[in-house]
Amino acid sequence: MTNIEDYALLGDLHTAALVSREGSVDWLCLPRFDSGACFAALLDTSEAGRWLLAPAAGGSCTRRRYRGDTLVLESEWDTAEGTVRIIDFMPPRGQAPDVVRIVQGVSGAVPMVGELRLRFDYGQIIPWVRNVGGTIEAVAGPDSAWLRTPAPLEGRDNRTISEFTVRAGDTVPFVLTWAPSHLSRPKPVDAVRALADTIDFWERWSERSTVTGRWRDDIQRSLIVLKALTYRPTGGIVAAATTSLPEQLGGPRNWDYRYCWLRDATFTLQALLAAGYGDEATAWREWLLRAVAGDPSKLQIMYGLDGTRRLPETSLPWLAGYEGSTPVRTGNAAAGQLQLDVWGEVLDGLHLARQADISKPDDAWDLQVALMDYLEGHWKDTDNGLWEMRGPRRHFTHSKVMAWVAADRMARATHDSGLPGPVRRWEYLRGAIHTDVLTNGYDARRGTFVRSYGSTELDASLLLIPRVGFLSGTDPRVIATVEAIQRELTQDGLVLRYRTESSEDGLPAGEGAFLACSFWLVDALNHAGRTTEANILFERLLALRNDVGLLSEEWDPVTRRQLGNTPQAFSHFALVVSALQLGREHPQRSDQPIHPAATHRSRAPR
């Protein structure tokens, strides 16, 4: 199968597609990120649906790139017959979702082949297909699609085949459009006009960026990826474009990441604000407020694109899984877990929004007080922890630290913004939680913080202690913990979330290094004043991106391959924040805007 790092991303701010170096669109869910896939070869074989468009001789492209600061992909093949270029993109959503592929002859005369296998409902449904006036029309149940091109089209073995030759100067467009089957065919899109409009959209969006300096291009590419993972109607940002890409090849650690996680809240806001994307930060904050509104005891760790709470998990047994990694899952049962850290994450993010002046001080304050009231009565409970353990609940140190964060931000809000609340009670609670963590979450014998009370194990989340301000990055206990993680919780210098073989997380042992955690190590080293070491690690992490700047969730140091769902928002947000922090003399805490003066409020484009 195609390696995860060999895929590039297309997107229209409603959904996303993955296209391989061989010219095959192997993943596309329509009409939303979390809809059923019409191309699911990513998780099976070509029989599960794909759209191949490439030289007839086959093989990987010779080179590819995104055009400037856009999401327009250009792939070129040098063949014995000549050179051909394919331009792939999805125009920002208009009336309907479109995937546009434009074949351009660069030199010679190159034989080309196209193979469209539409398979709705994650590869399970073969549609009825007919040729209507040179346009392919496919329909099955609620889905319909149309393929338009001047190239010849022929039905063959439940596939639509196109065979043609492209010569220097030729341009051959293909446009695939989807719509609900009960609606009439959407207005046709002109491929050349759509290309110009799509380039213009992304260039204008990128021009709003305030990022400068050494890593400007790397940061901007990650920001473009994060914009592409945004569901524009609501402002929610999905954790990844895919489901069930494995954290362990051949294993069961395969999860659906096409939802919005609260743990990303402050990283999201800090990254967007620092880069000048105030509109996107505001939209994310508004999504967050809508999602968490309601009974504070019902706060979830993740929600659907529109704030949907019920995300029932099921498996798709007809799919073989990526390199045999089963089960393939849709939905995510972790949505029902208790993770106490999310209360702190939400209140930290909303405090950051106040500090950055993207909200009125009292906006949604009653909701925040209600969240704090609930946490005050439950912070001593056991929970499933940041990593969504499917084993027994524990007193995770990170969960307690984030409870401290909640009390700290609420107490400070009353002082800094004059908001009403029982400030002395919150200050007392803050002190009590701090003492509790230092007493039970710190192992004096080994001289480090530990993953849970009574344990001697380490956890990558401990690297966040200086970021959230619980202790200074130069505190001897923090430094000792960072150094212990470097010694005991890394593989080839990259950070593991925890040791799965001794975790009791309810799953078989084994997974790759978690990329966001390695960026957390960069930040912890930076907070400790070890900037040279932090810079070296950061540069190494940049080198793990694929040829078009994408990062998945994990990296396997043994096989030197990306693992997990891709592209991963958590990895890219962490990259942006680490890069911006390394450019400062003194790194900021999680509740402090990195460049407050750079917040930009331009309204176009969104």
Strand partners, 554: 514, 563
CA distance 186 to 174: 16
CA distance 498 to 597: 38
Instruction: From 31, 11, 146, 148, select the one nearest 73 (Cα to Cα).
Output: 11
pLDDT of residue 602 exceeding 50: no
In which band, very low, low, confident or very high, does the pLDDT at 503 lie, cut at 50, 70 and 90? low
pLDDT tens per residue, range 387-406? 888 778 999 999 999 999 99
Could you identify the residue written with the tokens 């005891």? 297
Contacts of 563 by beta carbon, 8 Å cutoff, 6+ apart:
4, 245, 246, 247, 248, 249, 511, 512, 552, 553, 554, 555, 556
In which band, very low, low, confident or very high, does the pLDDT at 263 lie, cut at 50, 70 and 90? confident
Are the beta carbons of 247 and 512 closer than 8 angstroms? Answer: yes
Could you identify the residue written with the tokens 């490439």? 54
Is residue 13 left, alpha or beta, with left meaning phi > 0 and alpha meaning psi from -120 to 50?
left
Query: Lowest-confidence range among 6-10, 249-253, 431-435, 543-547?
Result: 249-253
Domain boundaries, the chain: 4-183+191-204, 208-587
Q: Where are the beta strands (DSSP E) in 197-265?
A: 230-231, 236-237, 260-261
Percent of the chain with pLDDT over 90: 90
pLDDT of residue 587 exceeding 60: yes
Q: Is 324 exposed, middle or buried (0-12, 13-18, 19+ CB in 10 A)?
A: exposed
pLDDT of residue 605 exceeding 60: no
Could you identify the residue written with the tokens 């297309």? 10
Mean pLDDT, rounded, for 105-120: 98
What is the identity of the amino acid at 369?
V
Could you identify the residue written with the tokens 């999905």? 238
pLDDT of residue 600 exceeding 50: no
Which CATH class name applies to 4-183+191-204?
mainly beta
pLDDT of residue 265: 87
pLDDT of residue 597: 34
Structure tokens at 144: 């319909």
Mean pLDDT, rounded, for 440-459: 97
Helix and strand tally (H, E) in the chain? 14, 28
pLDDT of residue 585: 81
In which band, very low, low, confident or very high, does the pLDDT at 604 lie, cut at 50, 70 and 90? very low
Structure tokens at 214: 């050494």
Mean pLDDT, rounded, for 15-40: 98
Radius of gyration in angstroms for the set of CA atoms belonging to the chain, rounded to a whole number: 24
Strand partners, 128: 139
Could you identify the residue written with the tokens 């040829």? 547
Residue scoring higher pLDDT (601 or 180): 180
Helices (H), 74-119: none
Structure tokens at 282: 């505001």
pLDDT of residue 412: 96
Report helix, strand or coil for 544. Answer: coil
Q: What integer best gives the mean pLDDT of the chain? A: 94
pLDDT of residue 54 exceeding 70: yes
Query: Lowest-confidence range among 325-339, 500-514, 541-555, 558-572?
Result: 500-514
State the distance between the two ends of the chain, measured CA to CA, in whole angstroms. Answer: 36
Could you identify the residue written with the tokens 């021009």? 207
Mean pLDDT, rounded, for 543-571: 97
What is the identity of the amino acid at 211?
V
Mean pLDDT, rounded, for 568-574: 97
CA distance 304 to 297: 18
Which CATH class name applies to 208-587?
mainly alpha
Percent of the chain with pLDDT over 70: 97
pLDDT tens per residue, range 80-89? 999 999 999 9
Mean pLDDT, rounded, for 313-341: 96
pLDDT of residue 505: 65
pLDDT of residue 595: 66
Mean pLDDT, rounded, for 103-130: 98
pLDDT of residue 390: 74
pLDDT of residue 596: 39
In which band, very low, low, confident or very high, does the pLDDT at 510 lie, cut at 50, 70 and 90? confident
pLDDT tens per residue, range 350-367? 999 999 988 777 789 999
Cα-based distances in Å from 481 to 442, 486, 530: 9, 9, 14
Sequence-distant contacts of 488-492: CB under 8 A, at least 24 apart: 488/458, 489/458, 489/459, 489/460, 491/557, 492/557
pLDDT of residue 377: 97
Residue scoring higher pLDDT (514 or 508): 514
Mean pLDDT, rounded, for 309-337: 96
